[in-house]
Amino acid sequence: MATGTDHAIGEAVAARVERRWATLSIVIVGVLVGMATYIGIHQATMPQGHVETADPKTLHLSSEFVESNLGSSVEADGSVTVRAIGQQYSFTPQCVVVPADTPINLRATSADVVHGLLIEGTNINIMLVPGYVSALPIRFKVPRDHVMPCQEFCGIGHQGMWGKVKVVDKTVFRNMIAAKRRLTCVD
């Protein structure tokens, strides 16, 4: 049978256990808040490991994005690399030509402010951020023309900033590029 003393001891034990759990739950909350804060600050201040950078100030002079290097080129493995720049208020090249049914690596960046590159009729939609290279593997099923508007407000000329993507048959593309190293539909 419980006596008055037993009752008091029981209460003391219960209070101690409760305090221990309360402390533990506060510590857990503290650790989680600390982790979220650290990750948030780290991501906001450091470029992430897989991110490639490109200095917007020297873009035209000494990077993979020099003007002669823009447009489509064929790699040794048969894939195609497309390099493009967005700037207020146009894309360079203004028109991109690519083969259908071929793996394509799209690599683009911005020379000034943040732009968006959207290829109408596809799910291709990337942001072009000055200082960083946006890389995206893409593929077009069939030959057709797509419009490529800027989809990020970038200033007063934003509405008029758009380019074109011309998807042509594989063989046609191979014949077009045979004579040159880089291809755009502007030239």
Binding site for ligand CUA (CB under 6 A): 86, 115, 150, 152-154, 158, 161
Min. distance of Cβ 92 from ligand CUA in angstroms?
12
Q: Which is nearer to ligand CUA, 71 or 86 (CB)?
A: 86
The whole-angstrom distance between residue 166's C-alpha and the CA centroid of its chain comes to 23
Min. distance of Cβ 51 from ligand CUA in angstroms?
21
User: What residues contact 103, with CB distance under 8 A and at least 6 apart?
Assistant: 79, 80, 137, 139
Q: Which is nearer to ligand CUA, 47 or 157 (CB)?
A: 157
Q: Which is nearer to ligand CUA, 53 or 159 (CB)?
A: 159
Q: Residue 176 is inside which H or E element, if any?
A: helix 170-178
Evaluate whether 118 touches 63 at the Cβ level (below 8 Å): no
User: Token match 């049914």: residue?
Assistant: 101
Min. distance of Cβ 152 from ligand CUA in angstroms?
5
* DSSP per position, 91-108: EESSEEEEESSS-EEEEE
Q: Residue 136 is inside which H or E element, if any?
A: strand 131-138
Min. distance of Cβ 147 from ligand CUA in angstroms?
14
Min. distance of Cβ 154 from ligand CUA in angstroms?
3
Q: Which is nearer to ligand CUA, 111 or 177 (CB)?
A: 111
Cis peptide before 132 (omega within 30 of 0): no
Q: Which is nearer to ligand CUA, 85 or 161 (CB)?
A: 161
Cα-Cα-Cα-Cα dihedral of 26, 27, 31, 33, to 10°?
20
The residues with which 94 forms a beta bridge, in sequence order, are: none
